[in-house]
């Protein structure tokens, strides 16, 4: 049995490019055999990092054309342009010869980033994780589906979790990968799409990502991640979702916006 954490094992790719092999695991499923979009994005980024030769995804744009299911897949990479600071490429994930996801990403080495800094916002003010509620009711790492892959702690259980959505599509909570795997810059782009969608608090319990843009701002310190999510506009079934991740030191490490469709 492999000692790899499920995230590392299940996002692994094989080969040397430009065509990589991958296996989409059902351990990151969201029901009906479909894989979580953040997890699928992480598979594509593994192939891109191997091709581009820089360690940290910096700016990511993913377009989800069709739902991805568990089973074999291919990731086809166009390595694009590589410069001193940035390397940019495109990855296409295919199953059965059909393109399902397309990702364009720029990679960098964030350990070498330097320059002026001005941050006008702050991390969510949350009680310690041990003083918060377990959103998933103690799901273990062996549990099926994505609920077994994450740990989420909230100051109070949200309305949807109690059968009474509040109508306010915002939340602040702690999150981390289950199984004692510290988050890194390769995990952050997936994590912004792995939490419960904010529209659950509007009484809508199914949401499909169409496009996801992620900016990775820094390498996170070990520990729990403080998250802030919100949806302001639900129009004709389409809605945006803004997501922030702050590390245990209060540093902003990732932010994202996605467009999604109910259902």
d(CA 212, CA 38): 9
Across residues 245-249, what is the average pLDDT? 98
The pLDDT value given to residue 142 = 58
Q: What rounded mean pLDDT belongs to the chain?
A: 95
The pLDDT value given to residue 191 = 98
Answer yes or no: is pLDDT of 143 > 80: no
Q: How far is CA 83 from CA 52, 53, 109, 116, in A?
A: 10, 11, 12, 22
Task: Identify the structural domains of the chain with CATH numbers, from first to last.
Answer: 1-109 (2.40.160.210), 124-263 (2.40.160.210)
Tens of pLDDT along 169-185?
A: 999 999 999 998 999 99
Contact partners, residue 174, CB within 8 Å, separation at least 6: 126, 129, 132, 151, 152, 153, 154, 224, 225, 226, 227
Decide: 108 and 56 in contact? Cβ < 8 Å: yes
The pLDDT value given to residue 136 = 86
The pLDDT value given to residue 166 = 97
Q: How far is CA 154 from CA 64, 163, 185, 195, 243, in A?
A: 29, 16, 23, 12, 16
- Of the listed ranges 1-5, 69-73, 115-119, 124-128, the least confidently predicted one is 1-5
Cα atoms found within 13 Å of the Cα of residue 24, Cβ hemisphere only: 27
Stated pTM of the model: 0.95
Answer yes or no: is pLDDT of 62 > 60: yes
Tens of pLDDT along 17-53?
A: 999 999 999 999 998 889 999 999 999 999 999 999 9
Answer yes or no: is pLDDT of 137 > 90: no
Answer yes or no: is pLDDT of 1 > 50: no
Tens of pLDDT along 195-226?
A: 999 999 999 999 999 999 999 999 999 999 99
| Residue 190: its H or E element | helix 188-191
Decide: 43 and 75 in contact? Cβ < 8 Å: yes
d(CA 189, CA 45): 9
């Amino acid at each position: 049995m492999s000692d790899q954490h499920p995230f590392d094992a299940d996002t692994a790719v094989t080969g040397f490019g430009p065509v990589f092999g991958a296996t989409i695991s059902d351990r990151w499923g969201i029901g009906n055999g479909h894989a979580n979009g953040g997890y699928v994005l992480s598979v594509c980024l593994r192939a891109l990092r191997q091709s581009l030769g820089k360690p940290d995804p910096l700016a990511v744009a993913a377009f989800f054309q069709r739902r991805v299911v568990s089973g074999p897949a291919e990731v086809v990479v166009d390595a694009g342009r590589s410069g001193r600071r940035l390397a940019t490429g495109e990855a296409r994930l295919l199953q059965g010869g059909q393109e399902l996801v397309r990702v364009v990403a720029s990679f960098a080495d964030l350990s070498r980033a330097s320059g002026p800094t001005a941050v006008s916002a702050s991390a969510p003010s949350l009680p310690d994780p041990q003083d918060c509620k377990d959103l998933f009711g103690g799901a273990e790492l062996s549990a099926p589906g994505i609920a077994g892959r994450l740990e989420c702690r909230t100051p109070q259980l949200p309305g949807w979790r109690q059968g009474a959505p509040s109508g306010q599509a915002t939340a602040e909570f702690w999150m981390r990968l289950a199984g004692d795997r510290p988050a890194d810059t390769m995990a952050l782009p997936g994590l912004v799409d792995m939490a419960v969608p904010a529209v659950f608090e509007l009484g809508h319990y199914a949401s499909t990502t169409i496009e996801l843009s992620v900016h990775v701002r820094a390498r996170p310190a070990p520990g729990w991640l403080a998250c802030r999510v919100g949806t302001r506009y639900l129009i004709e079934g389409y809605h945006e979702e803004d997501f922030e991740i702050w590390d245990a030191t209060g540093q902003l490490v990732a932010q994202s916006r996605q467009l999604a469709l109910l259902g």
